[in-house]
Chains A and B, each alone.
Chain A
């Protein structure tokens, strides 16, 4: 032991000063490189398996230009505010969510490829009369619709669910099949599968999650090809590549 210590002391004497400075720097730098690599690998692995960690703009949800609450329009039951208290109207009665069907606004979903986001005029059908003047998002909406002011303009909603460009997803057959076969509906909100009659809208939750309960829409499912193929296999849908990639 003593000889080992003495040999280290001997080496210390012979090591040049610049090397003594450089070795700890290199050690710290090496650790840093390892840490960065580990972070990158962890990000890639999580993104591969499910949804990417919400950093660097990989968020699953976006701040929309107007904070449209799906809870009010599509949800059910009494509405609560941020602190958990009941929301009241001007007569002091508790407000109830509307429970609208998804297809009330996303009208083309049962007939066409895309479920369109309604134009601002469609919001204005109701909101030129309904909703308090004091509401800030509604005022913004009325400006966009041209009810307030004289400069109507469309709302630039940010898209939350986006398929890659080489995938051709068509809503119509999916909604049609799931409406006819409620047993195939997955991830549904409670009570959907037991419902006697399935509305087209209830099938949406299979891929979009329970949007009616979301204050701000986020992507719940990873929507990777594996999920598509699993579901297509289970339900006898085509698994030919050209069914979606063309």
Chain B
């Protein structure tokens, strides 16, 4: 997945779309205050510069699906693993809730279900039947909308054709009004994400940790290069290697 930070307006539509698509329990105020709210994708906001020359910067952060993921080797029951498609998979029915993976994740994108999820009666019928409802004591995280991937693969199979680039979209990508989020196959050299990866704005989050994420970012374009450059160093990610 590619995230063009320059296009992100910080509207949070992706957060909401993800919440609805993946049956994420409602983040009520008491859950939020205890830092136990669940958001598979979040939009972080940074301030750049000093008032009055201040700029708001947004960066959507979801599971980075690292090739060298710190969450995977610490799981005692192999509930999280890397699959052949390069995705970091969370198997809910294997998870026993040790929370080691969340402690290991430098991006803080793994969430623990401290409570049984409940929805008001009026929202019962909105639940997505393709996504498992995670019960209490289960770790969860962005799955790259794996149910949509399965659906796309199945559709292509039944029609007897190869999968087209851009055919599979994630919920956050669908909701993004500026197309800042792009999902695709990095193994396909002609896909849109592969094109984006060649950009000189390319960088990955917390690059120095060596997690080798499958989600990459395209840096903000700013006339005021000095401010932009300073922000990159403070984030720890170097976009110009």
Contact = CB atoms under 8 A, between A and B. Distances in A.
A120 to B, nearest CB: 22
Nearest to A110: B158
B159 to A, nearest CB: 11
Nearest to A168: B130
B89 A168 contact: no
Interface string B75-117: 0000001011101010111100000000000000000000000
Interface string B121-138: 000000000111100000
A17 B84 CA distance: 74
Contacts of B154: 170, 172-173
B158 A242 contact: no
Contact of B91 (A172, A173, A242): A242
B49 to A, nearest CB: 43
B147 interface: yes
Nearest to A176: B158
B65 to A, nearest CB: 12
A51 to B, nearest CB: 20
A166 interface: yes
**Chain A interface, >50% SS class:** loop
Q: Classify chain B's interface size.
A: 20 to 34
Interface string A172-184: 1100100000000
Contact of B132 (A176, A243, A245): A245
B13 interface: no
A42 B89 CA distance: 36
Contact of A246 (B84, B94, B150): B150
11 contacts: A165-B133, A166-B93, A170-B154, A176-B157, A176-B158, A241-B81, A241-B83, A241-B89, A242-B89, A242-B143, A246-B131
A190 interface: no
Contacts of B147: 168, 246
Interface in B174-207: none
Given A168-B147, A172-B154, A173-B157, A245 B130 contact: no
Q: Classify chain A's interface size.
A: 10 to 19
Contacts of A170: 150, 154
Given A172-B154, A173-B154, A240-B84, A166 B132 contact: yes
Given A240-B84, A246-B143, A166 B92 contact: yes
Interface of A: 164-166, 168, 170, 172-173, 176, 240-243, 245-246
A168 B147 CA distance: 9
Contacts of B91: 241-242, 245
B158 A246 contact: no
A171 to B, nearest CB: 11
Interface string B27-51: 0000000000000000000000000
Interface of B: 81, 83-85, 87, 89, 91-94, 130-133, 143, 146-147, 150, 154, 157-158
B92 A245 contact: yes
Among all A-B residue pairs, the 4 with the closest Cβ atoms: A166-B93, A246-B146, A242-B89, A241-B91
A166 B81 CA distance: 17
B158 A240 contact: no
Given A170-B154, A172-B154, A173-B158, A242 B83 contact: yes
B150 A243 contact: yes
Contacts of A241: 81, 83, 89, 91, 94
Contacts of A164: 93
A11 B226 CA distance: 99
A246 B146 CA distance: 7
Contacts of B132: 165-166, 168, 245-246
B84 to A, nearest CB: 7
B191 to A, nearest CB: 21
A245 B93 contact: yes
Nearest to A166: B93
A180 to B, nearest CB: 10
Given A176-B157, A242-B83, A245-B92, 11 more contacts: A165-B132, A165-B133, A166-B92, A168-B150, A240-B83, A240-B84, A241-B94, A242-B146, A245-B91, A246-B89, A246-B130
